[in-house]
Amino acid sequence: MQVLPDFKIGLLNGWLPLLLYFAGLLLALASFSGQASARIFEDPKYGMPAGVKLVRLLGQMAMFAYIGMMVFTPLMFGSLVFPVGLLVYSAGYGTVMVALHHFRHTPADQPAVTGLYRLSRNPQWVGLALVLAGAAIMTDTWMYLGIILVVAIIYHLQILAEEQACLEQYGDSYRAYMAKIPRYFWFL
């Protein structure tokens, strides 16, 4: 893998897997009821301190930079790591879609605890991280994996805020869920 991207204009660039992900995401969200859509897009930043909001904004800027650079970074089809990236991307894509399915069918007055939510409290975030990492691996560029790691650390703060909001909304049932199910996966 190379450290920095090799920018080129082309149709088979890193934007392609990202576009496929966002198209699938929009199609999945189109099947949500208005109430479920509102619930998935609830913004927990109301309870965040100003410093955390600033760090979150920096994470969003890093994410936009990643997406912008991926537009001009060719996918490395002949690279030995391309199939690995495709596998990671596909696992992430599937994780997000299955998690969205279970989230959509969860009543608004209950936390999502079925399907992949029995393995992770945040399978949508885990899936998104895998999608982004898979796309980065398909470009054969280390820098993108570094950006994703920084963004993941920053978004961890948002996840903590989301968990606090869930504790306030669902109380002891969510506390018991937190005690049984890892935040991300296995030991994380």
Closest alpha carbon to 82 in 33, 136, 162, 125: 136
CATH number for the domain running over 15-180: 1.20.120
> Domains of the chain: which residue ranges?
15-180
Residues of the chain falling short of pLDDT 70: 43-48, 187-188
Residue 20: helix, strand or coil by DSSP?
A: helix
pLDDT reported for residue 46 = 59
pLDDT reported for residue 114 = 94
Residue 42's contacts (CB-CB under 8 Å, 6 or more residues apart) are 165
CA 107 to CA 137: how far, in whole Å? 37
Closest alpha carbon to 111 in 162, 170, 42: 170
At 73-95, the pLDDT tens digits run: 999 999 999 999 999 999 999 99
**Helix, strand, coil content of the chain in percent (nearest 5):** 70, 0, 30
pLDDT reported for residue 187 = 63
